[in-house]
């Protein structure tokens, strides 16, 4: 099996699974309970929080554990909207956000919030100047995805954050799901107030994640109850998931080989550019090391994916959250391309486990299938 769909999800580290199993078996107490079983699980959570804080270079108390990227983005976006609606109802984002952000904003629009969706250029980049021009007196939030999950473009987060630092009443949220361990980002230096991380994108388990919440920032919680996670996220903590997330973050940073990913990406791009009729969608500069997106106009992507799957090769069309929907990629349309190109887009996404032989086999079979299938 050659797995090239790592932007959708990654294979968990064996150590992560072992940690989850061990904690589930031995540390099953409720962290809120006032007995030894409760105390020991609470201590595990706090040790995990401290370890993650070390690798993210943030304070442990700024980490709020969630179920993943979708919850993190919703908590950040809706939490700011509901907490600061009396200050203003204007929010700024881009046209190429992940569905979990876009749908959250669309929901808020039904409640009377005004959202500006900033356009991007042909490389999928928004400019800091565009953000500056969109700011109004009633703006309360700017939410930008760091690494686009479909084409891999890297937004100028630091530049945007530097400007927003002067706008003290505007909260800055960053979706860092695709970037963690692959594209460096300092939450403090970029003046980020809220940042979303997902476990299963970094060889952790599905259902695990966190939201960085700058110390002192208030959010309206989505879940009300016992007040766990400093009141941001009620509900009995997923202790095994939290500890396994800490293990996944540690291993991802320790095993990170970004140079290798860039080399594999360049190889794939060079080979794809030699295929007749193929169009590259991922920008060659200012893009992440693990994502390559391309289109084959005239070919149905689902047919190619199924044909490659029979050869033991896994890749995808667009975001896994919307890949079963027939609509054209909103990201490819946003960079100014036509519907045919947006409907025929395919995404290769690698991990630190990917080898050159995997990429070579993918290129070989893609050329073979393209020849046999023909245009639609």
Helix axes 14-26, 239-255, angle to 10 degrees: 160
- Strands 194-198 and 209-213 come out as antiparallel
Task: Name the catalytic one among 321, 333, 361, 373.
Answer: 321
Residue matched to tokens 């799901």: 177
Residue matched to tokens 């800055």: 172
**Distance between CA 4 and CA 348 in Å, rounded?**
5
**For the chain, give me the number of helices (H) and strands (E)?**
12, 12
**Distance between CA 170 and CA 353 in Å, rounded?**
39
Beta strands per DSSP E along the chain? 2-3, 63-66, 90-94, 114-118, 139-145, 171-175, 194-198, 209-213, 279-280, 291-295, 313-314, 345-349
- In the residue annotation, 195 being an active-site residue is answered as no
What DSSP line would sit under 240-280, residue for residue?
HHHHHHHHHHHHHHHH--HHHHHHHHHHHHHHHTTSTT-EE
- Strands 90-94 and 114-118 come out as parallel
User: Is residue 349 within 8 Å of 7, Cβ to Cβ?
Assistant: yes
| Catalytic residue numbers, as ranges | 321
């Amino acid at each position: 099996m050659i797995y090239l769909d790592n932007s959708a999800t990654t294979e968990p580290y064996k150590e992560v699974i072992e940690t989850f199993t061990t904690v589930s078996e031995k540390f099953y107490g409720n962290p809120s309970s006032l007995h030894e079983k409760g105390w020991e699980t609470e201590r595990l959570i706090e040790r995990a929080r401290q370890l993650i804080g070390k690798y993210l270079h943030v304070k442990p108390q700024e980490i709020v554990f969630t179920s993943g990227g979708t919850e993190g983005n919703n908590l950040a976006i809706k939490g700011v909207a509901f907490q600061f609606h009396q200050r203003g109802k204007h929010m700024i984002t881009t046209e190429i956000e992940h569905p979990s952000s876009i749908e959250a904003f669309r929901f808020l629009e039904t409640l009377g919030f005004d959202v500006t969706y900033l356009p991007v250029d042909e490389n999928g980049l928004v400019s800091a100047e565009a953000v500056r021009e969109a700011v109004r007196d009633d703006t309360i939030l700017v939410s930008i995805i760091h690494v686009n999950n479909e084409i891999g473009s890297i937004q100028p987060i630091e530049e945007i954050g530097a400007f927003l630092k002067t706008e003290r009443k505007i909260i800055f949220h960053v979706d860092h799901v695709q970037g963690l361990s692959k594209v460096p980002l300092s939450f403090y230096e970029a003046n980020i107030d809220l940042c979303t991380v997902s476990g299963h994108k970094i060889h952790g388990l599905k259902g695990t994640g966190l939201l960085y919440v700058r110390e002192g920032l208030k959010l309206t919680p989505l879940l009300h109850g016992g007040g766990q996670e400093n009141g941001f996220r009620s509900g009995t903590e997923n202790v095994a998931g939290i500890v396994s997330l800490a293990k996944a973050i540690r291993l991802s940073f320790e095993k990170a080989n970004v140079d290798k990913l860039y080399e594999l990406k360049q190889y794939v791009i060079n080979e794809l550019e030699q295929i007749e009729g193929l169009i590259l969608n991922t920008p060659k500069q200012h893009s992440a090391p693990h994502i390559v997106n391309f289109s084959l106009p005239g070919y149905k992507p689902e047919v190619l994916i199924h044909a490659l799957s029979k050869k033991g090769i896994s890749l995808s069309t667009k975001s896994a959250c919307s890949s079963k929907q027939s609509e054209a990629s909103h990201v490819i349309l946003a960079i100014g391309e036509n519907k045919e190109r947006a409907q025929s887009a395919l995404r290769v996404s690698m991990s630190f486990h990917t080898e050159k032989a995997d990429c070579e086999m993918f290129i070989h079979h893609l050329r073979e299938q393209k020849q046999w299938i023909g245009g639609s």
